[in-house]
Structure 1
Amino acid sequence: MSDTPLRQPAFVLVRPQMGENIGAAARAMWNFGLDRMRLVAPRDGWPNPRAVALASGAGRLLDEAGHFPTTVEAVEGCTFVLATTARGRGLTKPILSPEEAMAQARDHAQAGGKVAVLFGPERAGLENDDIARANAIISVPVNPEFASLNLAQCVLLTAYEWRRQTAEIDHARVELAGGDWATALETDKLAEHYEDRLAQAGFFFPPQKAEHMKTNLRNLWSRMPLTRADVQILHGMMRQMVRWKERGD
């Protein structure tokens, strides 16, 4: 894989109406490492102080955002354009899920292409003239009885899918709080400790089932993701219970 950074898609906000939504969109983009914003004819003009207030740390995106009078000019030079809309608008277009759309966007970018994603104004979304200039439509599988997404929500969802397609993602992990995982030997010693004490207490009964019970117990320990601190606590618990029993006798 090339060490050259992958070219990001440009997120094009077409005729956005509220500065607050532009700022929230910038924040959503920067949450996922995207910083190429383009604005097409914002209703309230540009720059917009309300956008800055909502950007919350992502103001640089607003400072560097491209400002264009038309969608055609905003996507000039782009080789793969996607339009976000909940409706096909009667146009014959490939309709992609956000995941598939960003996978194709990644492939185009890796091949040296320039990608743009169009987001429509808050009230009615993109017009047919905008959608007609796109290569494909992104359709989010939302509740059909309430399909409208806030502009910033749609930006965030698309940016998240781009991140998933282009970054190393830890799908599951455990944060160790200053400790280490227990070794197999440490777990084995813990099992021996419990077996010895449980045997003294008469737990392994009847005798003919003792070995099977011990095997199940060891299997239980091996399934538990124990840290060294956990092992020490479990040893201490057993020692204390034995001491308490001996004092009671």
Structure 2
Amino acid sequence: MRDWDRPTWLAGREAVSSAGARRQYCSAVADEGALSALDDETLRQSRTGPAIVLVEPQLGENIGMVARAMANFGLGDLRLVNPRDGWPSEKARAAASRSDHVIDAVRLFATVEEATADLNFVMATTARARDSFKPVRGPEEAAVDLRRRSAEGQGTGILFGRERWGLTNEEVGLADEIVTFPVDPQFASLNIAQAVLLMSYAYQAAGRGGDLSPRFEAKLPEPATKDDLFRLFHHLEASLERAGYFFPEPKREVMTQNLRTMLTKANLSEPEVHTLRGVIKAFDYEAAQLRKKLGDAS
């Protein structure tokens, strides 16, 4: 019996009927040899990571976004089981945002069994507890295990279910283990591309030995010299003195120290110091012009 999330019995029967028609179509395509076979080099590269198996995906846009998520993290083996709207899909290619190498290498299958036949180890994603004695992993733990198995030469894969109701119990039963995400149980539904993105990221992170530092760093300018900073202090304090800022007089020392501490903590670069001095100079000029106008008026 299928384990639906939300469908009615009518929707379930319609889904089964349409799925049967799609299986016939996919089998016919396979028999005609029209499936896109991967060349040896592409197959070798894609097998360095798990195959992503989408079971009866509904929207071409979602398939494209899955391909994009895979490409972001170096995965390339995308397998489709009975896509609702057929294959190929221009909507999928458009949503893939230039990850054409993943779209071009997509392989089509009629059943989950066929899609995973060449794999040694398969995980099934689900947000629901199942009546199963299979081990349940989080994405990080699952990714580490997938990495280990890939390094040993095993073919691995991850099953992702339909957008509306996920995988059936029978399909989960074909997997070796279950992987689930630590989502809010009150809102556990993930878009299929989001789920693939999370697993793809976890897989790449597992290969970096826990090093999640950015792949590039901003080139920060060196701090200004103390001489530049002292000149800024004097420039600012002289300007504030003319403006009557240091009042009352007994608080001058504390106010001065507060200003200097603030500017020192900012760790200003030389260009930043020059910018601030330019701002002070502009204020001084406007203040002088105003004083001149007031003097002429009097």
For residue 109 of structure 1, report the CA deviation from its aligned partner.
4.0
Aligned equivalents of 1:135, 1:225: Cα separation in 2: 55
Amino acid in the other structure paired with 2:262: L
Query: What's 2:20 paired with?
Result: none
Instruction: Decide whether aligned partners of structure 1 residues 200 and 94 sit closer, same or farther in structure 2, where only a CA change above 3 A counts.
Output: farther
Tell me the CA shift for residue 87 of structure 1. Answer: 1.1
Which residue is 1:239 aligned to? Answer: 281
Paired with 1:114 and 1:218, the residues of 2 have a C-alpha distance of: 63
Name the stretch that deviates more: 34-43 or 160-169.
160-169
1:170 is aligned with what amino acid?
P
Q: 1:24 to 1:200 in 2, by over 3 A?
A: closer
From 46, 55, 61, the counterpart of 1:14: 55
Per the alignment, residue 265 of structure 2 pairs with: 223
- CA RMSD for the aligned pairs? 3.6
Pair 197,24 (structure 1): closer, same or farther in 2 beyond 3 Å: closer
Alpha-carbon displacement from aligned partner over 1:120-163 (angstroms, at most 9, x marks no partner): 12333112233234343222333434433332232233334434
Task: Tell me which moved more, 30-39 or 66-75.
Answer: 66-75
Unaligned runs of 5+ in 1: none
The corresponding residue for 1:98 is 139
Whose helix fraction is larger, Structure 1's or Structure 2's?
2
CA distance 1:15–1:237, change in 2 (3 Å)? closer
**Hey, what does 2:100 align to over in structure 1?**
59
Q: Report the 3-state secondary structure (helix = DSSP H, G, I; strand = E; otherwise coil) of the residue aligned with 2:159.
A: strand
Alignment of 1:168-207 (within 5 A): 169-170=213-214, 180-185=221-226, 186-198=228-240, 203-204=245-246
The CA deviation at 1:207 is 6.3
Larger-Rg structure: 2
SS at match of 1:147: coil
1:28 pairs with 2:69: yes
What is the 5 A alignment of 1:27-46?
27-46=68-87
Question: What does residue 129 of structure 1 align with?
Answer: 170
AA of the residue aligned to 1:74:
A
Pairwise CA distance, 1:85: 0.8
Q: Which amino acid in 1 is paired with 2:66? A: A
Secondary structure, aligned partner of 2:164:
coil
- Calculate the TM-score normalised by the size of structure 1: 0.74
The match for 2:193 is 152
TM-score by length of 2: 0.64
Counterpart in 2 of 1:115?
A: 156
SS at match of 1:25: helix
Aligned AA for 1:28?
Answer: A
Q: How many equivalent residue pairs?
A: 242
Is the 1:182–1:231 contact (alpha carbons within 8 Å) kept by the matching residues of 2? no
1:100 and 1:220, CA in 2 relative to 1: closer, same or farther beyond 3 A? farther
Is the Cα contact below 8 Å between 1:106 and 1:162 reproduced in 2? Answer: yes
Query: Mean Cα displacement is larger for which, 199-208 or 181-190?
Result: 199-208
Deviates more, 1:11-20 or 1:108-117: 108-117
Cα distance, 1:127–1:160 mapped onto 2, change above 3 Å: same
**Equivalents in 2 of 1:243, 1:19: separation in Å?**
63
Return the letter of the residue paired with 2:63: I
Equivalent-residue separation in structure 2 for 1:136 and 1:130 (angstroms): 12
Of stretches 69-78 and 28-37 in structure 1, the one that deviates more from structure 2 is 69-78
Preserved contact between residue 125 and residue 180 of structure 2 (Cα < 8 Å): yes
Amino acid at match of 2:81: V
Native 8 Å contact 2:224 2:273 kept in 1 = no
Unaligned runs of at least 5 residues, structure 2? 1-44, 293-298
Q: Once structures 1 and 2 are overlaid, which stretch shifts more, 156-165 or 122-131?
A: 156-165
Residue identity over aligned pairs, in percent, reads 40
